[in-house]
């Protein structure tokens, strides 16, 4: 199994473990996340943090999910509220590996007809991906009035406006039959 697959499927849950929140920052495995972020004028709260590992030995990255102030965010249906998933990488990963891992996961979750229906949106999102180096951070953000955006180290890479696409793509981590039930539960703060 290649390391990038673990970017999507090998996260072990770490919410509530690690350094306690200090002020407006939560630190886990040496990676700091704001406890609150602002998206299109709306505050989103840190919901969960997860550590990604490959082969139980190699730390791939640390992920954090932000959502509305609802006590528990339990569904992507419908995607009428903003969401933000940040992943800071602890190793280098190529653009090609991101695309390969995302497609493998999407194929495991959806029918070929569904993937064909969203092929333009998926292709557009994948065109935004770049190689990452240790310390780089991707942010995948959905807002109902904007769509799904991708940033790398705070630099805007692009947007896909479809709310249905947001449900499909965030579903890699948070939807029905996610890449990891424990990842989903940890990021959603259910564990």
**Per-residue pLDDT of the chain in tens (191 residues, 90 and over written 9):** 444 444 443 333 333 333 444 459 999 889 999 999 999 999 999 999 987 766 567 788 889 999 887 655 655 655 688 999 999 999 999 999 999 989 998 999 999 999 999 999 999 999 999 999 999 999 999 999 999 999 999 999 999 999 899 999 999 888 777 766 666 777 877 66
- pTM for the whole structure: 0.85
Residue 92's pLDDT is what?
96
Look at strands 42-54 and 147-152 and give their pairing.
unpaired
Angle 184-114-101 from CA coordinates, rounded to 5°: 50
Residue 101's pLDDT is what?
86
Judge whether 102 and 170 are in contact, CB under 8 Å: no
Residue 178's pLDDT is what?
73
Q: Of the CATH numbers 3.90.1150.10, 3.50.70.10, 3.40.1800.10, 2.60.40.420, which one belongs to the domain with range 3-187?
A: 3.50.70.10
């Amino acid at each position: 199994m290649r390391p990038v697959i673990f970017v999507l499927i090998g996260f072990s849950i770490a919410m509530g473990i690690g350094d306690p929140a200090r002020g407006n920052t939560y630190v886990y495995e040496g990676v700091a996340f704001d406890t609150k972020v602002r998206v299109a004028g709306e505050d989103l709260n840190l919901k969960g943090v997860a550590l990604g590992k490959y082969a139980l030995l190699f730390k791939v990255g640390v992920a954090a999910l932000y959502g509305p102030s609802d006590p528990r965010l339990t569904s992507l249906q419908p995607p009428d509220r903003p969401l933000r998933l940040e992943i800071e990488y602890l190793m280098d990963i190529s653009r090609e590996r991101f695309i390969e891992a995302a497609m493998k996961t999407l194929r495991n979750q959806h029918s070929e007809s569904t993937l064909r229906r969203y092929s333009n949106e998926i292709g557009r999102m994948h065109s935004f991906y770049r190689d990452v180096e240790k310390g780089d951070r991707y942010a995948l953000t959905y807002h109902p009035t904007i769509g799904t955006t991708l940033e790398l180290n705070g630099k805007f890479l692009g947007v896909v406006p479809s709310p249905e696409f947001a449900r499909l793509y965030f579903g890699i981590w948070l939807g029905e039959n996610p890449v990891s039930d424990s990842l989903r539960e940890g990021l959603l703060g259910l564990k």
